[in-house]
C-alpha cells in the first residue's frame, strides 16, 4: 500500500469571515475526548448545506490539534481560520472560530465522495424505505508530492481489520535514501501507519486505501503516499457502514456554491496541484470558476467581497450574491401572444406549413 505518515509545515490562509444562511441538518457528537461524528439528516433530497459554525473558548490544556480532532476538522482547517493563534499553546480564554458548515459536493450524492482541496470525505448511506436522508462527513488526509491521490470513480473492493502494512519497494527506497530504513512488513499495532481499519479501492490496481493512522495530528494535510487517511475513531465508525462494492468518487473542487433562500453561498478552499499539494489561489482563475458556477442566472454579486473570500480560501461559507428569483424553480412558459384581429373586409392569412430540416 502506498501509504505512510509524513509531517508538513502548516499553512495559514487568512482570517475568518462571517456567513449568513439557514442550517440544514443535525449535528451528533461522539464525546468530549473523541472526534465528533458529523451525521446530518437532510431536510430534503435537494438540500445543499449542512452543519454550523461556532465559537469556542479554550482552556489552558487545549491545543488546536486536539480541538480539530474533537470537532471533526483537519488541523489545517482550524488553524487557517484562527490566524495568529499558536496551535500548540493557544492559551486559556482564547475565543476560536470552529468552521462546521459545509456545502455538499457537486455531482451524485451516492456512496463516498472525497473532495481533495477540502480534505474531506462525505458518505451518503442508502436511505431505508421511509427513513431519513443522511450524510456523514469526516476530515481526511490526501496524497502528497508525486504520490498523487487519483481522481475519478472507483469502488471499495476489500476491507480489513488490523491490517499489516507492506511498504512498496518505492517507499522503502525513499526511506533508505533518507537514512530511515523500513522493514518489509509492519504488523498491526501502534507503529502501523494504516491504523486498525483499512478499505481497499479498485484505483491503482488496488494499491490505494481509505484507512486510519498512528499520527492523528496530520489528518487534514497532504501527507500520505496517495491514500486517504482518517482519524482512528472516525475510520472505526465508518468501517462497519461501508459494504464492499460501495462507489467512491474522488473530485477536485476548490470552490463550491449553493443557492439558499435567494442567497448565493460560496465556499472556497486552497486549490491543490496535480501532486495533491495546496497552493495560493489564483484570484482571476477563481473568479472565472465562480462566474462559471453562477452561469446565466441574474444575480447581484458583490465582487469585491467575493474576491476577498476567494483570496482567503479558508473554507468558511460566505454570502456573496443575492437574487430575486430562486434559480432552482422551473422557468414559467411565456404567455401566448394573442393574434391580431384582421382588418375589416380582409381575409385572415392561412398559417404556413411547418418546414422540415435534416440539420
Catalytic residue numbers read: 211, 227
Q: Which of these, 331, 316, 325, lies nearest to 263 by C-alpha position?
A: 325
Phi first, then psi: give them for residue 57, nearest 5 degrees. -110, 130
Number of helices and strands (H, E) in the chain?
7, 19
Q: How far is CA 137 from CA 37, 41, 104, 220, in A?
A: 8, 12, 10, 13
Q: How far apart are CA 272 and CA 313, in angstroms?
A: 12
Judge contact between 203 and 150, C-beta under 8 A: yes
Q: What does the alpha-carbon distance between residue 102 and residue 109 come to, in Å, rounded to a whole number?
A: 14
Structure-block grid coordinates of residue 106: 457537486
DSSP conformation class of 243:
-
Phi/psi at 152 (5° precision) = 115, -170
For residue 130, the 8-state DSSP code is: T
Burial 227-257 (b: 16+ CB within 10 A, else e): bbbbbbbbbbbbbeebeeebebbbbbbbbbb
Q: Which residues pair with 41 in a beta bridge?
A: 134
Beta bridge partners of 240: none
CA-to-CA distance for 6 and 76, rounded, in angstroms?
A: 15
Tell me 159's DSSP state.
E
Strand 152-161 with 247-251, pairing: antiparallel
Query: Cα(343)–Cα(38) distance, rounded to whole angstroms?
Result: 71
Amino acid at each position: 500500500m502506498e501509504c505512510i505518515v509524513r509531517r508538513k509545515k502548516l499553512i495559514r490562509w487568512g482570517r475568518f469571515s462571517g456567513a449568513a444562511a439557514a442550517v440544514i441538518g443535525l449535528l451528533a457528537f461522539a464525546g468530549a475526548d473523541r472526534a465528533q461524528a458529523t451525521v446530518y439528516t437532510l431536510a430534503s433530497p435537494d438540500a445543499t448545506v449542512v452543519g454550523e459554525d461556532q465559537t469556542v473558548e479554550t482552556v489552558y490544556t487545549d491545543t488546536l490539534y486536539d480541538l480539530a480532532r474533537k470537532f471533526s476538522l483537519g488541523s489545517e482547517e482550524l488553524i487557517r481560520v484562527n490566524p495568529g493563534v499558536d496551535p500548540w499553546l493557544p492559551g486559556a480564554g482564547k475565543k476560536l472560530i470552529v468552521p462546521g458548515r459545509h456545502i455538499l459536493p457537486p455531482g451524485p450524492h451516492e456512496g463516498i465522495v472525497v473532495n481533495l482541496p477540502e480534505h474531506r470525505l462525505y458518505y451518503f448511506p442508502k436511505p431505508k424505505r421511509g427513513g431519513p436522508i443522511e450524510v456523514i462527513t469526516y476530515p481526511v488526509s490526501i496524497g502528497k508530492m508525486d504520490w498523487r491521490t487519483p481522481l475519478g470513480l472507483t469502488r471499495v473492493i476489500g476491507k480489513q481489520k488490523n491490517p499489516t502494512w507492506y511498504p512498496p519497494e518505492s517507499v522503502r527506497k525513499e526511506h533508505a535514501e533518507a537514512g530511515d530504513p523500513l522493514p518489509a512488513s509492519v504488523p498491526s499495532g501502534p507503529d502501523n501507519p494504516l491504523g486498525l481499519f483499512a478499505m481497499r479501492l479498485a484505483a491503482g490496481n488496488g494499491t490505494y486505501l481509505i484507512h486510519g493512522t498512528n499520527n492523528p495530528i496530520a489528518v487534514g494535510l497532504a501527507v500520505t503516499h496517495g491514500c486517504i487517511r482518517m482519524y482512528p475513531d472516525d475510520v472505526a465508525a465508518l468501517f462497519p457502514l461501508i459494504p464492499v462494492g460501495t462507489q467512491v468518487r474522488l473530485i477536485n473542487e476548490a470552490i463550491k456554491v449553493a443557492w439558499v433562500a435567494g442567497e448565493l453561498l460560496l465556499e472556497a478552499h486552497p486549490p491543490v496541484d496535480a501532486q495533491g499539494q495546496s497552493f495560493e489561489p489564483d484570484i482571476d482563475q477563481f473568479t472565472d470558476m465562480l462566474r462559471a458556477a453562477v452561469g446565466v442566472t441574474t444575480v447581484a454579486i458583490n465582487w469585491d467581497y467575493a474576491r476577498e473570500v476567494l483570496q482567503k480560501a479558508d473554507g468558511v461559507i460566505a454570502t456573496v450574491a443575492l437574487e430575486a428569483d430562486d434559480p432552482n424553480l422551473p422557468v414559467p412558459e411565456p404567455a401566448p401572444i394573442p393574434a391580431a384581429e384582421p382588418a375589416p373586409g380582409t381575409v385572415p392569412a392561412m398559417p404556413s406549413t411547418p418546414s422540415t430540416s435534416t440539420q
